[in-house]
Amino acid sequence: MDAPRLHPETIEEVKQKVDIVDVIGEVVLLKKKGKDYQGLCPFHQEKSPSFTVSPAKQMYYCFGCGAGGNVYKFLMELGKASFQEVVFDLARRYQVPIKTLEPEQRKEFQRQLSLKEQLYEILVVAAHFYHHTLYQPQGEKALDYLLSQRHLSEETIQQFQLGYAPAGWETLYRYLIEQKHYPLALVEQAGLIKARQSGSGHYDQFRDRLMIPITDAQGRVIAFGSRSLGSEEPKYLNSPETELFNKGKTLFGLDQAKKAIQQRDQALVVEGYFDVIALHRHGFNHAVAALGTALSQDQIKLLLRYTDSKQIIFNFDADKAGIKATQRAIQEIEPLVYSGQVNLKILNLPAGKDADEFLGSQLEAQPEYQQLLATAPSWFEWQVQQLLAQNSLKQAEQFDRVSQGMVQLLRQFQDPNKQAYYLQYCAEILCQGDVRLIPLQTGLLSQQIRQPQARSTQKRSPRRVKNPDSSLLAEAESLLLLIYLHCPDFRNTIKQELEDKDLLFSFAHHRLLWQTLLWLEGQGPTDLVPADTLVSRLADAYLNLGQDTGPIEALLHLTEKTQADIFRPELRIPEAIAALERVTWQKYYDYCSQRFQQMPAQTGHYYYKEMLKAKQKIHSFDQQRCQASP
């Protein structure tokens, strides 16, 4: 339910009851200076106090960073909370009755507020129970696991309030209901017990498990994570979702990490509870973790409240499963990344280790981890590294696979400056150290990025369906390249036709050949260079690129068959251009058709009209082809 609109009287009454000096004094050491108070600003690092609080004006202001406002503004900025959250919290603390503009809504809100407060209470009592049990004889196995295998100190165990759930089926049930007299329905709503399938009685959700309290950003227990201590599956088990707990909107450790995230201006996201605990133990207390689900945009947006640089580092496991998890997480937040809302980096630790394994019990690993953190590649560079790890640039087919993967990544950038930066980055990699070829590779990638792509929402069939136009298209592209190479008088004609109609070669080896020819032209005019000389220069360029000339051997050296192919170029060039145009319109038709199917009926009219236009063009080319056939 949406939060109710607050009545202005409530907002004003809270402001009148609250003393800004008392509120700010809870987090900032204030010293009286004249009529005002001074202290170190909590919003930026400083050694000399420039932060002033005025009790007369009930305002604060920092002469260092310019932060300023009333008590509401202070708490909103400090806790990254909404206006209503701040008012509700202050109203409860100062016992101000909450008034809303809608009486019916106020009643429902008060009921929900009462329910949540009771759930908070039950969960914190359960957390104390589990923590206490950890130090009893029945919790000895769990405590030994934490101390001996996880190498945790007593201080860390206390910090995260780790505990143990006894093996009995009804231990917590009896404690909360029979001893503490909490209502059965509320204990069940808190996710701590479950109804038996037989319909008779309840049993504990967690049994013989190490318990890890999950808290919200304010530090309130809202759920539990757990780990089995034997062979029981699942190894990790979370509370079910409740009125308080939404896995996709919660980050483990955020309440303890948010201050460090603000100070470091960076958030570190790992996979597991013990990765977070190990990192905090070693001083990396800006670490948080998702809760057994794919990282969501909501969780990322939660972190962005605490960092101005928007820098987030993923440090998932470096094994195959971890790499897949990283790729899924990147895909989930792609809109935020490509739009520049997130400055994302990826850290994979050596030997496929997770953060807990890497740090272990050795404090000597701390500087090495810090260095790896500082040099973590951007998400784009990491994705390119994955492409290179699976393919060799020395093999033509794998080289094309890498370049096409780069194009797919580059195409989605919304910021042209970032696209240009990474375009250059990719070109340098593909040139394999030969800086002379960077302009050639940059042009090739740039042209492919501009080529429209139709994205299918359906799963691809494992069998490749042969395009009936592919042989015609291959023949047309080969013909244009043959004429360009061996008929100097027609080179300008071909280049002009392709530029005027914005046509691209579809086959990878043809695209590379054409871009190489354009690059050679950039080194000096080639309009009237003899065919043999141009072919020789082309072969040298391919050698420098490390490319195999096999796929284009027939184009490089004129034979009796290819000589017949270029007979009467003034007629063959228009035919070949028409074939390329037909394929371009077919791709556009497919794209519009796919978009039309995705759109609601009332908004798909534009794509329907474009489909018709493309279909008419295709039909026109087919008619011309039929008329030209003998």
| Residue 485 structural domain | 470-628
Q: Which of 383, 402, 424 is the last residue before a domain boundary? A: 383
Place of tokens 């919660």: 250
Q: Cα 391 vs. chain centroid, distance in angstroms?
A: 24
Collapsing DSSP to helix, strand or coil, 192 comes out as coil
Domain count, the chain: 5
Most confident of 95-109, 125-139, 216-230, 442-456: 125-139
- The rounded distance, in Å, linking the Cα atoms of 134 and 283 is 25
Helix or strand holding residue 195 (H, E)? strand 193-195
pLDDT value at residue 509: 81
**Does 476 share its domain with 614?**
yes
Place of tokens 């009643």: 107
User: What DSSP state is assigned to residue 249?
Assistant: G
The most distant pair of C-alpha atoms in the chain lies apart, rounded to whole Å, by 102
Residue 326 near residue 346 (C-beta atoms within 8 A): yes
**Does 237 share its domain with 271?**
no
**Conformation bin of residue 208: beta by default, left when phi > 0, alpha when psi is -120 to 50:** left
Q: Say which amino acid occupies 241.
A: E
In this predicted structure, the answer to whether residue 465 has a pLDDT above a threshold of 60 is no
Most confident of 65-79, 172-186, 305-319: 172-186
Residue 28 near residue 71 (C-beta atoms within 8 A): no
Please enumerate in sequence order all residues whose Cβ is within 8 A of that of 444, keeping only pairs 6 or more positions apart, or say none.
403, 511, 512, 515
Residue 19 near residue 54 (C-beta atoms within 8 A): no
Neighbouring C-alpha atoms within 13 Å toward the C-beta of 240: 11
**Does 237 share its domain with 121?**
yes
The pTM of this model reads: 0.62
pLDDT value at residue 463: 36
Q: For residue range 576-585, what is the model confidence (pLDDT) as tens digits?
A: 888 888 888 8
Collapsing DSSP to helix, strand or coil, 215 comes out as strand
CATH of the domain at 210: 3.90.980.10
- The rounded distance, in Å, linking the Cα atoms of 95 and 149 is 47
Place of tokens 């493309």: 614
pLDDT value at residue 630: 45
In this predicted structure, the answer to whether residue 507 has a pLDDT above a threshold of 70 is yes
**Does 143 share its domain with 256?**
no
**Across 18-169, where does the E strand assignment appear?**
31-33, 36-39, 51-54, 59-62, 68-69, 163-165
| CA 597 to each of CA 253, 454, 588, 610: distance values in angstroms, whole numbers, following the listed order | 44, 13, 14, 13
- The rounded distance, in Å, linking the Cα atoms of 229 and 415 is 49
Count, residues in the chain: 630
Collapsing DSSP to helix, strand or coil, 226 comes out as strand
Collapsing DSSP to helix, strand or coil, 91 comes out as helix
In this predicted structure, the answer to whether residue 383 has a pLDDT above a threshold of 90 is yes
CATH of the domain at 287: 3.40.1360.10
DSSP string computed for 14-40: HHHH--HHHHHHTTS--EEETTEEEE-
Looking at the chain, the whole-number percentage of residues with pLDDT higher than 90 is 31
For residue 234, whether the previous peptide bond is cis, meaning omega lies within 30 degrees of 0, is yes
Looking at the chain, the whole-number percentage of residues with pLDDT higher than 70 is 84
- The rounded distance, in Å, linking the Cα atoms of 510 and 580 is 13
pLDDT value at residue 171: 96
Strand pairing class (343-346; 311-315)? parallel
In this predicted structure, the answer to whether residue 128 has a pLDDT above a threshold of 70 is yes
| Cβ-based neighbour number of residue 296 at 10 Å | 18
User: Minimum mean pLDDT among 107-111, 175-179, 296-300, 301-305: which range?
Assistant: 107-111
Determine, yes or no, domain membership for 28.
yes
Average pLDDT in the chain: 83
Q: Which two tokens stand for residue 467?
A: 């395009």
Most confident of 53-62, 125-134, 428-437, 583-592: 125-134
Average pLDDT over residues 291-304: 82
Average pLDDT over residues 544-571: 68
pLDDT value at residue 501: 81
**Does 188 share its domain with 83?**
no
Determine, yes or no, domain membership for 430.
yes
Collapsing DSSP to helix, strand or coil, 252 comes out as strand
Determine, yes or no, domain membership for 215.
yes
Q: Which of 383, 412, 440 is the last residue before a domain boundary? A: 383
Determine, yes or no, domain membership for 363.
yes
Helix or strand holding residue 99 (H, E)? none
Q: What is the b/e burial string over 341-374, where b = at least 16 CB atoms within 10 angstroms of the residue's CB?
A: ebbbbbbbbeeebbbbebbeeeeebeeebeebbe
pLDDT value at residue 233: 87
- The rounded distance, in Å, linking the Cα atoms of 46 and 314 is 30
Closest CA to 17 of 72, 61, 68: 72
User: What DSSP state is assigned to residue 294?
Assistant: -
Average pLDDT over residues 552-581: 74
Collapsing DSSP to helix, strand or coil, 229 comes out as coil
In this predicted structure, the answer to whether residue 232 has a pLDDT above a threshold of 50 is yes
Residue 494 near residue 484 (C-beta atoms within 8 A): yes
pLDDT value at residue 529: 79
In this predicted structure, the answer to whether residue 537 has a pLDDT above a threshold of 60 is yes
Average pLDDT over residues 49-67: 87
pLDDT value at residue 362: 65
What are 312's strand-pairing partners? 267, 344
Residue 379 near residue 343 (C-beta atoms within 8 A): no
Could you tell me the pLDDT band of residue 176, with boundaries at 50, 70 and 90? very high
Print the SS3 string covering 571-603.
HHHHHHHHHHHHHHHHHHHHHHHHHHHHCCHHH
**Does 445 share its domain with 554?**
no
Q: What is the b/e burial string over 146-162, where b = at least 16 CB atoms within 10 angstroms of the residue's CB?
A: beeebebeeebbeebbb
**Conformation bin of residue 237: beta by default, left when phi > 0, alpha when psi is -120 to 50:** beta
Could you tell me the pLDDT band of residue 254, with boundaries at 50, 70 and 90? very high
Closest CA to 454 of 261, 566, 589: 589
Average pLDDT over residues 349-371: 83
What are 37's strand-pairing partners? 32, 53
**Does 377 share its domain with 425?**
no
Determine, yes or no, domain membership for 100.
no
pLDDT value at residue 546: 64
**Does 241 share its domain with 263?**
no
Strand pairing class (236-238; 221-228)? antiparallel
**Does 526 share its domain with 615?**
yes
**Does 370 share its domain with 502?**
no
- The rounded distance, in Å, linking the Cα atoms of 82 and 68 is 17
CATH of the domain at 50: 3.90.580.10
| Cβ-based neighbour number of residue 395 at 10 Å | 13
- The rounded distance, in Å, linking the Cα atoms of 134 and 604 is 62
At 99, give phi and psi (nearest 5°). -110, 140
Determine, yes or no, domain membership for 330.
yes
pLDDT value at residue 562: 63
In this predicted structure, the answer to whether residue 1 has a pLDDT above a threshold of 70 is no
Residue 77 near residue 43 (C-beta atoms within 8 A): yes
In this predicted structure, the answer to whether residue 287 has a pLDDT above a threshold of 70 is yes
Residue 108 near residue 117 (C-beta atoms within 8 A): no
**Does 224 share its domain with 142?**
yes
Q: For residue range 191-212, what is the model confidence (pLDDT) as tens digits?
A: 999 998 877 889 999 999 999 9
pLDDT value at residue 454: 47
Determine, yes or no, domain membership for 605.
yes
**Does 604 share its domain with 507?**
yes
Q: Say which amino acid occupies 85.
A: E
Determine, yes or no, domain membership for 424.
yes
In this predicted structure, the answer to whether residue 241 has a pLDDT above a threshold of 80 is yes
pLDDT value at residue 455: 44
Helix or strand holding residue 126 (H, E)? helix 103-134
Neighbouring C-alpha atoms within 13 Å toward the C-beta of 26: 9
Residue 238 near residue 224 (C-beta atoms within 8 A): yes
